[in-house]
Amino acid sequence: MTAPSFPTGSILGYPRIGRRRELKKAVEAFWAGSITAEELESRAAELRRVTRERLTSLGLGATDSSIPEAFSFYDQVLDAAVTVGAIPTRFESLVAADGTIDLAGYFTIARGEGNNTPAEMTKWFDSNYHYLVPEIGPETRFHLASDRLIREVAEATTSGFRTRPVIVGPVTFLLLSKASEGAPEGYQPLDRLDDLLPVYAELLAALTAVGADWVQLDEPALVSESIEVPRAEVLAATKRAYDALGAAPVRPQIFVAAPYGSLDDALPVLGETPVEAIGLDLVRGSLPTGFRTEKTLVGGVVDGHNIWRGDLSAAFDTLEALRSLSPSVAVTSSTSLFHTPHDVADEPLLDERLKSWLAFADQKVAQIATLATGLAEGRGAIQGELDAASAALADRRVAPGVRDGDVRARAAALTEADFARGDYAERLAAQEAALHLPFLPTTTIGSFPQTGGIRKARAANARGEISENEYIEFLKSEIKSVVELQERIGIDVIVHGEPERNDMVQYFAEHLDGFAVTQNGWVQSYGSRCTRPSILWGDVAREAPITVEWSAYTQSLTDKPVKGMLTGPVTILAWSFVRDDQPLGETANQVALALRDEIEDLEAAGIGIIQVDEPALRELLPLKKADQPAYLDWSVRSFRLATSGVAPKTQIHTHLCYSEFGVVIDAINKLDADVTSIEAARSKMEVVPDIQHSGFARGIGPGVYDIHSPRVPSVEEVTDLIEIALGSIPERQVWINPDCGLKTRGYDETVASLTNVVAATRAVRERV
């Protein structure tokens, strides 16, 4: 009997959170203790059932392995860790006698408990998704510790489906892991490959037993150049891993998927292993040259990472070109579709014309089904669909708002002078004369607690239950109380607290031309956390001032300097779905120009300090080294374009959410902000030596209060952190602030913590 061939049309993965975020709600209900583990399991099973049926109705085959079995309660990397028994030792008590871990234990690894810190969370390739970093050491005892994936395949089989189980592949799993705390110097998780492979082999056998014809092993780490392990070792590990799994006595056919970029030199390596199919990201990567194989090549030609309908005809051309590399070609998404929302049809309020240019997950599945038909029956069979997609694309090119003559003329007229602020020493002198700030100035990052009251008022305003005026009065009273609170505590630079913002990007998207916002366009950011990115579809322009009235009102309440608060161009792009018809740098400059106008208006309204947040400065950093300089260039330039229209005496701040200062010091330097605040409390100022060694000469606020936890830091603790900072950074550069905004905190802990921060600052001021 010949083995079943790879399905002609499939997807690498599908949103798992549910159309109405059902999984989020169920998981959070479980955490809150309001539903049992059994109830959570049954709601998840229901979601999987709905997903399989939905995918079948969209054109994927129910029994030909085209439907991925890719559910996760929290994170696919944590799933892989739990499957192979890689539980950090601090969570050992969660492991049952038979080596397994229950759902509550699984979530505990993700979220921490008591003094046991959760697994570290970090960015998944060049996306806005965050995974949990496995910890591997000599003590890790790999064994098949979870049969969850096996049960899910069995569940599908029982209900008449034949799905394709998906799991993170062994090489990527180890490359994304970090050495556990006790591991010896120089230890790397990849050293454990040979111990891990038998567990994967055992899993493959078990998946075969429950009916899997194919298994998908995700190996995105093979496309990334940001992996610390030398490439030669990565390639050798790839060869060893897939030779070994290929030789497993009982196994499904193996499909190795490599989303997020081209495989480059890893492709011939995989080509020489016994795997049966290889997935290529042909959206980010291009058609490989000089490679031929008898294996099935699965072309990822439908972009899993954005929401555009795209050029279906070009996608089909690419598939046809792929046929010169292999006699067996199939079509899939470039990445899992979990980066996209479910369904454009869930957006009744979106403009119909805009909708005709969009494809969310369900539309992409339908596109793939179309392309699969084309592969099977020839282009003629799908010509109508190809033409319709081309027509939508042509319509998008000429639709009003996509290209705005004024916006384009302004961008075209920019000169180098528009990107530069002039000498820092001169600025510093002018700012000192204008602002009269004390030594070690204290401030916050912008937001104050978003209370239930604020959310309720916003919702009531959106539903029209309270008038615009009542809402504005409500926000003003919020601002007033936040200002009074800061004055009472003794903070030097005052913020308005951002009560008017639902989200730091969406708020600006709602006030700028060229953006649309969705109602149900949720995507998973991590765990149960979802975001609803705005759609940046046209040329960006600012019709009217956005934040000026709020900031001016705030300044009218206090004699202390008020800090205006904006979101920077890179972050606005990184957290939106951005048009794909022009280089990102061009779009960034349009956003920057709108912000530049806002900043000039703030300055004219008497706001002397303006913070432009760029927490996502690194988020879009390309995975391939050759592409990185261009990215760093346009991202930095767009920030400078936004901020360099002001007078020397106006102080520009920026805030970055992470603490790997060393990695981006060059970019931070080039941003040329007068003051930069970063996260530092949780790592106990680990970043300070990097700042010192870099010779960074402008204002710097390493966070002294970890806002990610409700814990109130003591005066002594904060004092210690300030002393560490002062030990290495010249005194006059140092600012005192929390790690990030306070929007997720409650008022009691915020007041207590800020009070301690100010007390610590005063103590240090007296000593120095």
Residue 445 within binding range of ligand GLN, rule CB under 6 A: yes
Does the annotation flag 619 for ligand binding? yes
CB-nearer residue toward Zn ion: 545 or 738: 738
Structure tokens at 123: 């960015």
496 sits near ligand GLN (criterion: CB under 6 A):
no
Taking CB under 6 A as the criterion, which residues in 463-482 touch ligand GLN? Answer: none
Shortest Å, Cβ 615 to Zn ion: 5
Half-sphere exposure of 672 (CA within 13 A, CB side): 22
**Scanning the structure block, which residue is given the tokens 């991590």?**
526
Q: Which of 284, 637, 655, 745 binds ligand GLN (CB under 6 A)?
A: 655
Return the DSSP state at 113.
Answer: B
Q: Is 743 in the site for ligand GLN (CB under 6 A)?
A: yes
- Choose between 389 and 652: whose C-beta lies nearer to ligand GLN: 652
Residues 596-615 that bind Zn ion (CB under 5 A): 615
Contact track, Zn ion, 723-752, x by CB under 5 A: -----------------x------------
Contact call for residue 504 and Zn ion (CB under 5 A): no
Residue type, 169: G
Q: Is 615 in the site for ligand GLN (CB under 6 A)?
A: yes
Distance CA(519)–CA(535), nearest Å, equals 12
577 beta partners: 535
Q: Which of residues 345-364 bind Zn ion (CB under 5 A)?
A: none
Residue 565 binds ligand GLN (CB under 6 A): yes
Give 397's Cβ-side CA count (13 Å radius): 8
Number of residues that bind ligand GLN (CB under 6 A): 13
**What gap in Å lies between CA 282 and CA 377, rounded to an integer?**
22
- Write each residue from 506 to 545 as x if it is in contact with ligand GLN (CB under 6 A), else as -, in one continuous string: ----------------------------------------
**Residues 520, 533: Cα–Cα separation, whole Å:** 10
By C-beta, is 615 or 702 nearer to Zn ion?
A: 615
Of 167, 493, 540, 657, the one binding ligand GLN by CB under 6 A: 657
φ, ψ for residue 344, nearest 5 deg = -60, -30
Q: Are 660 and 685 in contact, with CB atoms under 8 Å apart?
A: no
Question: Is 38 part of any known ligand binding site?
Answer: no
Which H or E run contains 121?
A: strand 121-123
> Out of ligand GLN, Zn ion, none, which partner does residue 447 contact, by CB within 5 to 8 A per kind?
ligand GLN
Beta strands in 468-531, from DSSP E residues, in sequence order: 512-516, 523-526, 529-531
- Paired tokens of 302: 């439908």
The percent helix, strand, coil of the chain (3-state, each to 5) is: 45, 15, 40
Taking the complex as a whole, how short is the minimal distance between the CB of residue 693 and ligand GLN, in angstroms?
Answer: 25
Considering the rule CB under 6 A, would residue 702 count as an interface residue with ligand GLN? no
Contact partner, 504, from Zn ion, ligand GLN, none, Cβ < 5-8 Å per class: ligand GLN
Q: How far is the CB of 475 from ligand GLN (least distance, A)?
A: 16
- Report the residue from 61, 252, 299, 446 that binds ligand GLN according to the rule CB under 6 A: 446
For residues 15 and 713, which CB has a smaller minimum distance to ligand GLN in the complex? Answer: 713
Place of tokens 């290495």: 728
Candidate residues 263, 657, 671, 758; the one interacting with Zn ion per rule CB under 5 A: 657
Give me the residues paired with residue 69 across strands. 165
Q: Is 385 annotated as a binding residue?
A: no
By the rule CB under 5 A, 701 interacts with Zn ion: no
Could you tell me which residues are beta bridge partners of residue 531? Answer: 523
Q: Please identify, among the stretches 80-88, 309-317, 691-699, 735-743, the one whose residues bind ligand GLN according to the rule CB under 6 A.
A: 735-743
What is d(CA 730, CA 735) in angstroms, rounded to the nearest whole number? 11
CA separation for the pair 220, 217 (Å, rounded): 10
Ranges of H-type helices in 280-404: 312-322, 352-355, 361-377, 383-398
Report the residue number, 521 or 564, with the smaller CB distance to ligand GLN: 564
Q: Is 708 a catalytic residue?
A: yes
Residues 367 and 365: their CA atoms lie apart, in Å, by 5
Going by their DSSP bridges, the two strands 523-526 and 253-258 should be labelled as: unpaired
CB nearer Zn ion, residue 708 or residue 732 = 708
Q: What value, to the nearest 5°, has the Cα angle with vertex 383 and ends 379 and 389? A: 120
What gap in Å lies between CA 219 and CA 205, rounded to an integer?
20
Judged by CB under 6 A, does residue 609 bind ligand GLN? no
264 appears as a binding residue in the annotation: no
339 is in an annotated binding site: no
681 binds Zn ion (CB under 5 A): no
- Per-residue x/- track, 457-496, Zn ion (CB under 5 A): ----------------------------------------
Q: Does 741 bind ligand GLN (CB under 6 A)?
A: yes
Cβ–Cβ under 8 Å, residues 171 and 254:
no
Of ligand GLN, Zn ion, none, which one does residue 527 interact with (CB within 5 to 8 Å by kind)? Answer: none
Q: How far is the CB of 117 from Zn ion (least distance, A)?
A: 19
**Minimum distance from CB of 394 to ligand GLN (Å)?**
38
Nearer to ligand GLN, 58 or 687 (CB): 687
Q: Token match 């207590």: residue? A: 752
Q: Quick one: tokens of 196?
A: 């891990």
Cα–Cα distance for residue pair 702/722, rounded to 1 Å: 9
Distance CA 80, CA 133 (A): 11
Write out the DSSP string of 705-750.
S-TTSSPPPPHHHHHHHHHHHHHHS-GGGB-B--SS--TTS-HHHH
567 versus 719: smaller Cβ distance to Zn ion: 567
**Shortest spacing between CB 529 and ligand GLN, in angstroms:** 13
452: its two tokens: 């239930």
Looking at the Cβ atoms of 368 and 617, the one nearer to ligand GLN is 617
Nearest residue (CB) to Zn ion, 446 versus 538: 446
Q: How far is the CB of 616 from ligand GLN (least distance, A)?
A: 8
Interface region with ligand GLN, contact rule CB under 6 A, candidates 27-35, 117-125, 550-558, 736-744: 736-744
We find the least distance from the C-beta atom of residue 707 to Zn ion, in angstroms, to be 8
Name the one residue in this structure whose structure tokens are 């322009």.
541
The Cα–Cα gap between 109 and 83 comes to 13
Cα 116 vs. chain centroid, distance in angstroms? 25
- Residues for the chain: how many in total? 768
Find the distance separating the first CA and the last CA of the chain, reported in whole Å. Answer: 82
DSSP-derived 3-state class of residue 649: coil
Interaction of residue 504 with ligand GLN, rule CB under 6 A: yes
Catalytic machinery residues: 708
Per CB under 5 A, residues contacting Zn ion are 615, 657, 740
Per CB under 6 A, residues contacting ligand GLN are 445-447, 498, 504, 565, 613, 615, 655, 657, 740-741, 743
> Which residues fall in the annotated binding site?
21-24, 123, 128, 445-447, 498, 529-530, 575, 613, 619, 655, 657, 679, 740
> Which residues fall in the annotated binding site for L-homocysteine?
445-447, 498, 613
> Which residues fall in the annotated binding site for L-methionine?
445-447, 498, 613
